[in-house]
Chains A and B, each alone.
Chain A
Amino acid sequence: MILVTGSALADEPALARRQVDFFEKKIRPVLVKHCYECHAAGAKKLRGGLRVDSREGLLAGGESGPAVVPRDVEESLLISALRHDEFEMPPKGKLSASVIADFEQWIRDGAVDPRRDVAKATKAKAIDIEAGRAHWAYQPIKAPAVPQVKNTSWPAGDVDRFILAKLEAKSLKPGAGAAKIVLVRRIYFDLIGLPPTPAQIDAFVRDESPLAYERLVDRLLASPRFGERWGRHWLDVVRFAESLTLRGFVFKQSWRYRDYVIESFNNDRPFDRFLTEQLAGDLLKSSSVKERRRNLIATTFLTLGNTNLEDQDKQQLEMDFVDEQLDVIGRGLLAQTITCARCHDHKFDPIPTRDYYALAGILKSVKALQHANVSKWVEVPLPTDGEAKRKLDVHQQTIARLTGRIAELKKQLGGAAKNASPRSPTIVAVKDLPGIVVDDAAARKVGEWTNSQSNKQYVGLGYTHDGAKGKGEKTISFLPKLPRDGRYEVRFAYSHGTNRAAKVPVTVFSADGEKTILVDERKAPPIAGLFISLGTFRFEVAGQSFVMVSNENTSRHVIADAVQFLPVDEVSKLAPKKTAKKKPTVVAKPENKNPMDKLAAKKELAAVQAELAKHRKAAPRRQMAMSVLEIGSGKDLKIHIRGSIKNLGDVVPRGVLQVATYGNAPKMPTDSSGRLELAQWIVDPHNPLTARVMVNRVWHWLIGAGLVRTVDNFGTTGEPPSHAELLDHLTSQFIKEGWSIKRLIRTMVLSRTYRLSSAGGVGKDDPENRLLSHANRRRMDAESLRDAMLSAAGTLKLRMGGPSFPANLASDYGFKHNQSRRSVYAPVFRNSLPELFEVFDFANPSMVTGRRNVSTVATQALFLMNHPFVRTQAQFTAERLLDETRNSEKSRIDSAYRLTLGRPPSSAEMALSEKFLQSVTNDTEEARSEAWTQLVQSLFSTIDFRYLR
Chain B
Amino acid sequence: MSPLRGCVAQLQDAADFANRVSSLTLRVMMNVSQPHTDRMNQTSHFITRRESLRQTACGFGGLALAGLCADSAAAANSLAAKKPHLPAKAKRIIFLFMQGGPSHVDTFDYKPLLEKENGKKMPFDDARTIANSGKRGTSQRVMKSPWKFKQYGQSARWASDLFQNTAQHIDKLCFIHSMHTAGVAHGPATLFLHCGSTNFIRPSFGSWVTYGLGTENENLPGFISLCPSAGNGGPRNYGNAFLPSVYQGTAIGKAGTSVKGATIRNLKNTKLTRAQQRRQLELLQRLNAEQLGSAAGDTELEAVISSFELAWRMQNNVPDVLDLNKETKQTQAMYGIGEKATDNYGRQCLMARRLCEAGVRFIQVTYGDNSANPAWDQHSNLPKHEQHARAVDKPIAGLLQDLRQRGLLEDTIVWWSGEFGRTPYAQKNGTGRDHNPGGFTTWLAGGGLKPGFSFGATDPFGHKAVENKVHMHDLHATLLHLLGLDHLRLTYRYAGRDFRLTDVHGKIVSAIES
A552 on interface, CB distance cutoff 8 Å: yes
A861-B310, A920-B276 in contact; A306/B303 too (CB < 8 A)?
no
Binds A, one of B25-33, B88-96, B234-242: B234-242
Q: Which residues does chain A contribute within 8 Å of B386, judged by CB atoms?
A: none
**Does A861 contact B308, Cβ atoms closer than 8 Å?**
yes
* Nearest chain B CB to A849 CB, angstrom units: 9
For chain A residues 896-949, which have a beta carbon within 8 Å of chain B?
A: 906, 908-909, 912-913, 916, 919-920, 934-935, 937-939, 941-944, 946-947
Q: Determine whether the beta carbon of A863 is less than 8 Å from that of B266.
A: yes
* In the complex, chain B residues whose CB is within 8 Å of the CB of A909: 287, 290-291
**A84, CB-defined interface residue at 8 Å:** yes
Within 8 Å of chain B (Cβ to Cβ): is A534?
no
Of B179-187, B345-353, B355-363, the segment with at least 4 beta carbons within 8 Å of chain A is B179-187
Which of A99-107, A119-127, A470-478, A817-825 makes up part of the contact surface? Answer: A470-478
Contact A906 B290 (CB under 8 A): yes
Interface string of B207-247 (1 = CB under 8 A from A): 00000000000000000000000111111100001101110
Give the A-B contact count at a CB cut-off of 8 A: 251
Q: Is B496 touching A713 in the complex (CB atoms < 8 A)?
A: yes
Q: Are A477 and B430 in contact (CB under 8 A)?
A: yes
- The proximity string for B residues 185-212 relative to A, scoring 1 for CB distances below 8 Å and 0 otherwise, is 1111001000000110100000000000
- Contact (A856, B372) CB under 8 Å given A310-B185, A347-B497, A861-B310: no
Which one, A310, A446, A847, A865, contacts B430 given CB within 8 A?
Answer: A446
Chain B window 303-324, contacts with chain A (Cβ cutoff 8 Å), 1 for yes, 0 for no: 1110110111011000000000
**Cβ of B186 to closest chain A Cβ, rounded Å:** 7
Docked-complex contact B234 and A831, CB < 8 angstroms: yes
Residues of A close to B272: CB separation below 8 A? 934
Interface 1/0s, chain A 348-374, versus B by CB < 8 A?
110000000000000000000000000
Determine if B514 is an interface residue (Cβ-Cβ < 8 Å): no
Give a binary string over B487-514; 1 marks a CB under 8 Å from any A CB, 0 the rest. 0000001011100000000010000000
Per a CB cutoff under 8 Å, which of B128, B242, B266 touches A847?
A: B242
| A934–chain B nearest beta-carbon distance, Å | 5
B residues 444-491 in Cβ contact with A at 8 Å:
468-469
Selected A-B contacts with CB under 8 Å, 29 pairs: A91-B507, A93-B468, A248-B230, A311-B198, A313-B184, A477-B430, A542-B369, A542-B371, A550-B428, A550-B429, A552-B429, A710-B496, A715-B496, A761-B298, A813-B230, A830-B235, A858-B307, A859-B250, A861-B308, A863-B266, A866-B270, A912-B283, A913-B283, A913-B287, A920-B279, A934-B283, A941-B284, A942-B284, A943-B292
B3: Cβ under 8 A from any A Cβ: yes
A597 interfacial by beta-carbon distance below 8 Å: no
A543 engages B187 (CB within 8 Å): no
Interface residues of A in 211-253 (CB under 8 A from B): 245-248
Whether A944 touches B291, Cβ cut-off 8 Å, given contacts A446-B430, A544-B373, is yes
Q: B239: nearest residue on chain A (CB-CB)? A: A844
B326 at the interface (CB under 8 A from A): no
Chain A residues contacting B303 (CB-CB under 8 Å) are 856
Contact in complex: B371, A307 (CB < 8 Å): no
**Residue of B254, B303, B373, B379 ringed by the most chain A CB atoms within 10 A:** B373
Task: Tell me if B377 is interfacial: C-beta within 8 Å of chain A.
Answer: yes
Judged by a CB distance under 8 angstroms, whether A308 is at the interface is: yes
Inter-subunit contact B283/A311 (CB<8 Å): no
Chain B residue with the shortest CB-CB distance to A863: B266
B76 interface residue per 8 A CB criterion:
yes
Ordered nearest first, which 10 A-B pairs have the shortest CB separation?
Answer: A861-B311, A312-B131, A543-B371, A717-B496, A543-B373, A542-B371, A862-B266, A858-B310, A310-B187, A856-B303
A444 vs B369: C-alpha distance when bound (angstroms) = 25
- Contact partner, A854, options B2, B271, B311, B379, Cβ 8 Å: B2
Cβ–Cβ < 8 Å partners of B371 in chain A: 511, 540, 542-543
* Partner pick for B283 among A473, A513, A938, CB 8 A cutoff: A938
Question: Does B290 lie within 8 Å of A853, measured CB to CB?
Answer: no
Known: A337-B495, A761-B295, A941-B284. A857 touches B266 (CB 8 A): no
Report the bound CA distance from A925 to B279 in whole Å: 20
Residues of A within 8 Å of B267, CB to CB, are 862, 866
Q: Which residue of A lies closest to B297 (CB)?
A: A761
Question: Which chain B residues border A507 with CB–CB below 8 Å?
Answer: 428
**Which B residues are CB-close (under 8 A) to A540?**
371-373
User: Which residues 153-200 of B sit at the A interface, judged by CB distance below 8 A?
Assistant: 183-188, 191, 198-199
> Interface readout for A864-880 with B: 1 if CB under 8 Å, 0 if not?
01111001000000000
Flag if A912 contacts B290 (CB, 8 Å): yes
Q: Are B1 and A348 in contact (CB-based, < 8 A)?
A: no
Interface members, chain B 259-311 (any A CB < 8 Å): 264-272, 276-277, 279-281, 283-284, 286-288, 290-292, 294-295, 298, 300-301, 303-305, 307-308, 310-311
Of the candidates B234, B268, B280, B469, which one forms a contact with A84 in the assembled complex, judged by CB atoms under 8 Å apart? B469
Shortest C-beta distance, A178 to chain B (Å), equals: 15
Least Cβ–Cβ distance between B216 and chain A, in angstroms:
16
Name the interface residues of B88-115: CB closer than 8 Å to any CB of A.
Answer: none
User: Contacts of B230 on A, CB cut-off 8 Å?
Assistant: 248, 813-814, 831
User: Are A943 and B1 in contact (CB-based, < 8 A)?
Assistant: no
Q: CB of B22 within 8 A of chain A?
A: no
Tell yes or no: B37 within 8 A of A by CB: no
Residue of A347, A477, A552, A938 with most partner-chain B CB within 10 A = A938
Query: How far is A307 from B233 in the complex, measured between Cα atoms in Å?
Result: 10
Give A contacts to B, CB under 8 Å. Answer: 84, 88, 91-93, 245-248, 306-308, 310-314, 320, 331, 337, 340, 347-349, 444, 446-447, 472-475, 477, 479, 507, 509, 511-513, 540, 542-544, 546, 548, 550, 552, 705, 709-710, 712-713, 715, 717-719, 759, 761-762, 767-769, 776, 813-814, 830-831, 835, 841, 844, 846-847, 853-863, 865-868, 871, 906, 908-909, 912-913, 916, 919-920, 934-935, 937-939, 941-944, 946-947
> Within the complex, which residue of A92, A306, A831, A939 is in contact with B201, where a contact is CB–CB below 8 Å?
A306
Q: Are A548 and B380 in contact (CB under 8 A)?
A: yes
Q: Is B45 an interface residue (CB 8 A)?
A: no
By a CB distance below 8 angstroms, the chain B residues around A776 are 1
Beta-carbon contact of B373 and A847 below 8 Å: no
Q: Which residues of A contact B431 (CB under 8 A)?
A: 444, 446, 477
> Which A residues touch B315, using CB under 8 A?
862, 865-866
The reply to whether A861 and B185 contact each other, CB–CB distance below 8 Å, is no
CA distance A650 to B254 in the complex (A): 49
Whether the pair A475, B187 counts as a contact (CB closer than 8 A) is no
Known: A472-B121, A475-B428, A862-B266. A247 touches B372 (CB 8 A): yes
Docked pose: A64 CA to B4 CA in angstroms = 39
Chain B stretch 380-417: residues in CB contact (< 8 A) with chain A: 380-381
- The answer for the CA separation of A943 and B287 in the assembled complex, in Å, is 9
Bound: A92/B508 CA distance, A: 10
Q: Knowing A477-B380, A542-B371 touch, does A857 contact B495 (C-beta < 8 A)?
A: no
Residues of B within 8 A of A91 (CB): 507
Give the distance to chain A from B262, nearest Cβ to Cβ, in Å. 14
Instruction: Name the residue on A nearest B78 (C-beta).
Output: A855
Q: Which residue of A lies closest to B245 (CB)?
A: A855
Closest to B185 in A: A310
Q: Is A857 a contact of B246 with CB atoms below 8 Å?
A: yes
Interface centre among A544, A865, A939 (most CB of B within 10 A): A865
Q: Which of A447, A507, A717, A856 has the most CB of B within 10 A?
A: A856
Q: Which residue of B lies closest to A485 (CB)?
A: B371
Chain A CB within 8 A of B141 CB: yes
Closest to B3 in A: A709
* Nearest residue, chain B, Cβ from A716: B496
Q: A310-B187, A546-B380, A855-B245 are in contact. Are A472 and B496 (CB under 8 A)?
A: no
Q: Is the CB of B496 within 8 A of A718?
A: yes
Question: Are A862 and B428 interface neighbours, CB within 8 A?
Answer: no
Taking the complex as formed, is B132 at the interface, i.e. its CB lies under 8 A from any CB of chain A?
Answer: yes
Report the Cα distance A546→B378, complex, angstroms: 12
Cβ of B139 < 8 Å from any Cβ of A?
yes
Name the B residues within 8 Å of A912 (CB-CB): 283, 286-287, 290
Query: Among the listed A92, A512, A939, which residue makes an inter-chain contact with B287, where contact means beta carbons less than 8 Å apart?
Result: A939
